[in-house]
Copies of this chain bind each other. A is one copy, B any other.
Amino acid sequence: MIETPYLLFLGDAPDQLAAKVAQGIKDWRPENAVGQIRLAGCEADVGLTDMTLEEARAAGAKTLVIGVANRGGVISPAWKEVLIAALEMGYDLASGLHNLLRDEGDLVAASQTFGGTLHDVRVPSVGYPIANGVKRSGKRVLAVGTDCSVGKMYTALALDEAMRRKGMKSTFRATGQTGILITGHGVPLDAVIADFMAGSIEYLTPDNDDEHWDIIEGQGSLFHVSYSGVTMALIHGGQPDALILSHEPNRPHMRGLPGYALPALETLRDTVLPLARVANPACQVVGISVNTQKMGEDEAQGYLAEVEARMGLPAVDPFRQGADRLAEVLASL
């Protein structure tokens, strides 16, 4: 659990894309951030008030979150200066970088001296159990993709927002470092030891009120040979009541795998549903989310209408349209 609110560290981001973690926090949990702090040369701006460490601390900030990718695989001296000053002022630090904060001697020393916590969200901080498969109360929905990086996290966050707006009880359950930094908690599933993957998802989505929905962030794809095991563990550990199929058209091949074609949505549906029903016989495929970012508005609308007719399920682009129609389906279950 990372203490909120945050001050978002944008560092010397060379462009807006480098600050996508900070942007995600600003977009999805603006109440979690009091402001942003930038170094000389920073080309990113997530639209929050620029603050010094002191100002943000006075505004209540508890954790300095590294909301930017680093360059060259090192944490630079310019970054270190800010990070150490933050620890001296009583901040915790949180990071999803491959370079772990805990591997930096000066940060460890400062955290010990001043009592701040170093959160490296890329690695697990708890010992997860082995999954026991026992049916849990409450409801769960999971987005499964034809490929990796087709918009599963975005779909889940948009769905959470739409459900809250409708007055439904829902919780976004992060399974990757960006989602964990956005919400302050979660399981970094890709870094969990094989035997404990499904158990970590049971741990993440415990018993809940009957009408409460856990919206579980998807990872990988059953059709992506590098990561399909991670996806499988999510499907069985998550015991989803509802599945949303996520897709990005226009891809020449599976991400990073030339020669591997994307499956049709029908193939994904017919593959994932029997597997999901092993853990939850009542599981249904309830909708489709499509990432149409490479299409114009008319083309996107046409594509979504075609998919909706073909699959007999609501098909939306949550970025263009929001996820209200998906939330409506879940409300009816």
- Using a CB–CB cutoff of 8 Å, the interface residues on chain A facing chain B are 130-133, 189-195, 197-199, 222-223, 225-233, 235-237, 254, 256-257, 259-260, 263, 271, 274-275, 278-279
The answer to whether A233 and B228 touch across the interface, beta carbons within 8 angstroms, is yes
The answer to whether A236 and B230 touch across the interface, beta carbons within 8 angstroms, is no
The answer to whether A271 and B275 touch across the interface, beta carbons within 8 angstroms, is yes
Interface centre among A223, A225, A231, A236, by most chain B C-beta atoms within 10 angstroms, is A225
User: A25–B81 Cα gap in the complex (Å)?
Assistant: 57
* Nearest B-chain residue to A254, judged by Cβ: B133
* Nearest B-chain residue to A234, judged by Cβ: B229
Q: Which residues of B contact A229 (CB under 8 A)?
A: 194, 197-198, 229-233, 236
* Nearest B-chain residue to A261, judged by Cβ: B278
* Nearest B-chain residue to A195, judged by Cβ: B190
Q: Which residues of B contact A236 (CB under 8 A)?
A: 225-226, 228-229
* Nearest B-chain residue to A188, judged by Cβ: B194
The answer to whether A232 and B222 touch across the interface, beta carbons within 8 angstroms, is yes
The answer to whether B226 and A194 touch across the interface, beta carbons within 8 angstroms, is no
Q: Which residues of B contact A263 (CB under 8 A)?
A: 278
The answer to whether B274 and A131 touch across the interface, beta carbons within 8 angstroms, is no
* Nearest B-chain residue to A223, judged by Cβ: B278
User: A313–B144 Cα gap in the complex (Å)?
Assistant: 34
A283–chain B nearest beta-carbon distance, Å: 13
The contact of A226 among B192, B199, B275, by CB within 8 Å, is B199
User: A195–B271 Cα gap in the complex (Å)?
Assistant: 22
The answer to whether B193 and A226 touch across the interface, beta carbons within 8 angstroms, is no
A206–chain B nearest beta-carbon distance, Å: 16
Other contacts beyond A190-B193, A229-B230, A232-B232: 11, CB < 8 A: A131-B226, A133-B259, A189-B194, A190-B195, A191-B195, A193-B194, A199-B226, A223-B278, A225-B236, A225-B279, A229-B231
Q: Which residues of B contact A231 (CB under 8 A)?
A: 229, 232
Q: Which residues of B contact A226 (CB under 8 A)?
A: 130-133, 195, 198-199, 236
Q: 8 smallest A-B Cβ distances: which pairs?
A: A229-B233, A225-B236, A232-B232, A229-B229, A131-B226, A190-B195, A229-B232, A133-B225
Q: Which residues of B contact A222 (CB under 8 A)?
A: 232, 275, 278
User: A231–B274 Cα gap in the complex (Å)?
Assistant: 16
Q: Which residues of B contact A260 (CB under 8 A)?
A: 133, 278
* Nearest B-chain residue to A130, judged by Cβ: B226
16 interchain pairs, CB-CB under 8 A? A131-B226, A132-B226, A133-B225, A133-B257, A133-B259, A190-B195, A191-B193, A193-B194, A194-B229, A194-B233, A195-B230, A198-B227, A199-B226, A225-B279, A229-B230, A271-B275
User: A192–B233 Cα gap in the complex (Å)?
Assistant: 14
